[in-house]
Structure 1
């Protein structure tokens, strides 16, 4: 069997003396599209940074290949003298000191990454003058240029309009299938991802649960994860997760035992 693209076991992260994440365990099969979902402040970015080795953590993290990373939207001045293709080229060796010499191989790699995200038409434009959707394509190309097996994206849909959101989601799904590349995409709203997600990694209360959407996004499952009653409402093809008013009391000892057992659950 194929080695998973990413396997996390008993991950815990503390920051400023506070435990942000605890007992996180999950695995992503190769070629899977997984949404990393949770409210603002739930620890989604912390989890991505721990996977990248940017935060001290305990537990075990094993990636089956090279990782590409798209950070949260960065602020770029319109007059920044960096073209889209120059920014993508930084993904080849921007972590090294100095400037790389031009070469046919470098130009071919950059052109291939821009073509993969359908950004050839604005490759010569200054990146700070591109629209939000165009900038997001360039950021993805920057992460793709070294041909990763796993792509991590931190809130790539934030501040995009409905059309740009749908286009970016479709683009990522296509790349996932064509390259057999696994995608872990962080978002606070799961609805734009529902048509494309193979799995969902839902984070709340410092804990997480991972599995198929239909098995994770359920009232009884999310109530255990949050530690209080949650209602999952489906209407007009959308899913709403809201705090309920009754029926789940975390003070109850039997209930708390169930919650503790659900620190992280991987649902097959």
Structure 2
């Protein structure tokens, strides 16, 4: 794994980067449509290089859709999207991607080493001559993720947590600048979640890698997150974590009463309120209230109106 210098980006009060030159991902008035339905619109923000960012929101808000757009797999309905300084999809060879379905779709008869090597050969079919350089790269990626001693184990012999680290090693083997993971902690036990987060922290801290994670539960990731993209009422927004960790905002985001708790040691975690009445209105996304927590930019603030209501 090769280390890279990290240039800090300055975040303005509105959550946008003051300089897109320091950004890994830049959305400008972007929207995604499927058929007649707008999935989300008015995406206008930048994600800093060297950051660890979560994409959060309830089911169906378009979290995975956003990653697919960043990979150039889904075209924008409007606006623009640049990833690593080029139009989405142009530099996918510099992106490591771990899909949510990796552990269920990969051939369980492959060894960990064979699986990681797919990140270099690009296919699991046919006979491929593996060079010493490729094998060394695979071993380096497995060592970094802590699975080198499992190289000859078949995936069927590994726990879910170890298979997830195989998936990350496969994404890392080509030395990406950006690592994208879709629900990497789903269906893992607590110890495996912690081990996975440790690998992500190490990648960001030691290699300066930009990391983006789709996540439902923020708690395990909180120690390493620098910011979040939150999808609320059909509009994506970026903010630093100290702004996202707001009980009122998270209540609107998740549609249920949420509290942010700080321990005496200074650690924070997000939890549902224990005393929520049974009669509470679950859909708390009232437009007037939500406007207090996020806003669009002045250049189009007067043109949303009915367009937002339709979203």
Moved more, 144-153 or 96-105: 96-105
Question: Does structure 2 conserve the Cα–Cα contact (< 8 Å) formed by 1:23 and 1:264?
Answer: no
Question: Does structure 2 conserve the Cα–Cα contact (< 8 Å) formed by 1:208 and 1:263?
Answer: no
Listed as ranges, the gaps of 5+ residues in structure 2 are: 1-6, 8-20, 85-90, 299-311
Q: Distance in 2 between matches of 1:189 and 1:264?
A: 29
What SS class does the counterpart of residue 5 from structure 1 fall into? strand
Among 218, 224, 228, the residue aligned to 1:196: 224
Q: 1:178 to 1:88 in 2, by over 3 A?
A: same
Among 38, 50, 74, the residue aligned to 1:19: 38
Deviation at 1:149, TM superposition (A): 0.7
Residue 46 (structure 1) aligns with: 65
Deviation at 1:89, TM superposition (A): 0.6
Among 63, 73, 84, the residue aligned to 2:83: 63
Q: Does the alignment pair 1:240 with 2:271?
A: yes
Deviation at 1:101, TM superposition (A): 2.4
Q: Distance in 1 between matches of 2:120 and 2:182?
A: 20
Question: Does structure 2 conserve the Cα–Cα contact (< 8 Å) formed by 1:28 and 1:182?
Answer: no
Once the two structures are superposed, the pairs formed by residues 199-238 of structure 1 within 5 Å of their partners are 199-219=227-247, 221=249, 231-235=257-261, 237-238=268-269
Residue 108 (structure 1) aligns with: 136
What SS class does the counterpart of residue 23 from structure 2 fall into? coil
Residue 116 (structure 2) aligns with: 88
Among 166, 173, 178, the residue aligned to 2:206: 178
Q: Distance in 1 between matches of 2:182 and 2:226?
A: 18
Deviation at 1:203, TM superposition (A): 1.6
What SS class does the counterpart of residue 202 from structure 1 fall into? strand
Q: 1:92 to 1:46 in 2, by over 3 A?
A: same
Q: Distance in 2 between matches of 1:260 and 1:215?
A: 9
Q: 1:262 to 1:230 in 2, by over 3 A?
A: farther
Moved more, 166-175 or 53-62: 53-62
Deviation at 1:35, TM superposition (A): 1.4
What SS class does the counterpart of residue 68 from structure 1 fall into? strand
Q: Distance in 2 between matches of 1:63 and 1:249?
A: 31
Residue 258 (structure 1) aligns with: 291
Q: Distance in 2 between matches of 1:96 and 1:72?
A: 19
Higher relative contact order (CA 8 A, sep 6+): 1
Q: Does the alignment pair 1:159 with 2:195?
A: no
Q: Does the alignment pair 1:34 with 2:53?
A: yes
Question: Does structure 2 conserve the Cα–Cα contact (< 8 Å) formed by 1:35 and 1:185?
Answer: yes
Q: CA RMSD in A?
A: 3.2
Q: Distance in 1 between matches of 2:227 and 2:124?
A: 35
Question: Does structure 2 conserve the Cα–Cα contact (< 8 Å) formed by 1:153 and 1:186?
Answer: yes
Deviation at 1:190, TM superposition (A): 0.8
Question: Does structure 2 conserve the Cα–Cα contact (< 8 Å) formed by 1:24 and 1:264?
Answer: no
Residue 126 (structure 1) aligns with: 154
What SS class does the counterpart of residue 124 from structure 1 fall into? coil
Deviations 1:89-148 (A, max 9, x none): 111131699654221111111111111101111111111331100000000001001111
Deviation at 1:233, TM superposition (A): 0.8
Deviation at 1:209, TM superposition (A): 2.1
Deviation at 1:71, TM superposition (A): 0.2
Moved more, 150-159 or 34-43: 34-43
